[in-house]
Amino acid sequence: MGLVRGKIWGKTQTIIASPGVEMHAISILPNSECSLHCHRFKWNGFFVTKGTLTIEVHKNDYALVDKTVLGPGEFTTVGPGEYHRFISHREPVEAIEVYYQEPLSEDIVRKNAGRRRK
């Protein structure tokens, strides 16, 4: 695994970093939160493996702060340009944080439609 970086709320360790995707293991201390921030171009995903984590998202298209509470095995995403933060509760949290670019649904160029072979 990559470099471990300390934060006021816990620590993060890079698992993979490439131009298309980044993945980090994050350990969050009890009763902690990260800064309210946004990513201009990337999606941000959270997969909880231990504990309970609230993802707070300040929506751009309406006046609402959306709160999603995740437990082990649950995943959510935050879109580019949306201010958000994560908040832990009474117990420590372990999670995988993923950053990825907007999916390109038009990235396939086909030369034919394919076929069934006999």
Domains of the chain, CATH where assigned: 4-101 (2.60.120.10)
Percentage of the chain with pLDDT > 90? 69
Tell me the pTM. 0.81
Higher pLDDT, 72 or 40: 72
pLDDT tier for residue 112 given thresholds of 50, 70 and 90: confident
pLDDT tens profile 27-71 = 999 999 999 999 988 999 999 999 999 999 998 888 889 999 999
CA gap 12, 49 in Å, rounded: 14
Closest listed residue to residue 44, CA positions, set 73, 4, 105, 85: 85
Distances (CA, A) of 78 to 2, 30, 54, 102, 105: 24, 22, 12, 11, 19
